[in-house]
A and B are shown apart, each in its own frame.
Chain A
């Protein structure tokens, strides 16, 4: 008998503290599998965000450090410049990357830092129990937009991938989802490509992953998957947004 599907070496045996149905655990596994497949576990340094994934250092079996809220791209810049032979990636949510950390995100991308960013977009602040995020959809009910997000009051959901695509410093930008096995496998390919871009020293890569947040969306797990497919994917279309390696 052969082991076909199993926990990758780059994941520890620690139980995830995430809510039932959350997409974070899936993405943790994908990152770990990609790192195992590329054989870079001993030289990878991850940077965990502030948000639901704040305990990511407990779940990954390689070096992980923690940054202040929104600052992982700045910390990653420092680590990568000082230790250019290491593989450096940040793992950030939408509150961390697109709200408080937007300045760091844009400038790291604009400088074309040779780092990889894994961006989890669940359109809400999960850890603090469901406030409106910059990526919350119009009309979306959150604790800070109880009547639904109003564009006049709170602006429009930010498409981070498309925004960064205009910057010359970015090399590879893609958007994926983890609502179904098919999309999970596509997400793994995109994450692998993003790490390969860094290993080839081609510059900044970011993979945005649409994730469900059933408890804060006040939905059952199947409802939240439908919401990802019908609403989130309309606002945030899946696919490769920019790939300079092909030009």
Chain B
């Protein structure tokens, strides 16, 4: 199972990763970060295959993926 680390404080909730995820496995959290944005979260870590498309489109380099 891949490990996805999302730096919540860096995320600006632009949703680019949500649009890029082929598994539709990312969503906006109900919570907000210090910048005032709803940050993104992984819905089901088991469904992720670490393709890295979310990382490719993230303007804030807030995503790190281990496998």
A-to-B contact residues, CB < 8 Å: 1-7, 11, 15-16, 18-26, 29, 178, 180-181, 184-185, 214, 221-222, 225
Contacts and interface: CB of A to CB of B under 8 A. Distances in A.
A224 B10 CA distance: 22
B65 A4 contact: yes
B12 A184 contact: no
Interface in B1-52: 2-3, 9-10, 12-16, 19-20, 37, 50, 52
A185 B12 CA distance: 22
Contact of A221 (B16, B60, B61): B16
Contacts of A178: 57
Contacts of B20: 180-181
Nearest to A211: B59
29 contacts: A1-B66, A3-B65, A3-B66, A4-B67, A5-B55, A5-B56, A6-B65, A15-B10, A16-B59, A18-B59, A20-B12, A20-B13, A20-B37, A21-B12, A21-B16, A21-B59, A22-B14, A23-B59, A25-B61, A26-B56, A26-B58, A29-B61, A178-B57, A180-B20, A180-B57, A181-B57, A185-B56, A221-B15, A222-B19
Contacts of A26: 56-59
B59 A24 contact: yes
The residue among B13, B20, B56, B63 with the most chain A CB atoms within 10 A of its own CB is: B56
B13 to A, nearest CB: 6
The residue among B3, B19, B61, B65 with the most chain A CB atoms within 10 A of its own CB is: B61
Interface of B: 2-3, 9-10, 12-16, 19-20, 37, 50, 52-53, 55-61, 63-67
A38 B43 CA distance: 36
Nearest to A22: B59
B66 A4 contact: yes
A37 to B, nearest CB: 15
Contact of A181 (B9, B10, B53, B63): B53
Given A4-B52, A4-B65, A20-B37, A225 B59 contact: no
B12 A3 contact: no
B19 A16 contact: no
B19 A3 contact: no
Contacts of B13: 20
Contacts of B60: 15-16, 18, 25
A19 to B, nearest CB: 8
Given A22-B59, A181-B53, A221-B19, 20 more contacts: A2-B66, A2-B67, A3-B66, A4-B2, A4-B50, A4-B65, A4-B67, A5-B52, A11-B61, A18-B60, A20-B12, A25-B59, A178-B57, A180-B20, A180-B57, A181-B56, A181-B57, A221-B15, A222-B15, A222-B19
Nearest to A14: B10
A6 B37 CA distance: 22
Contacts of A19: 12
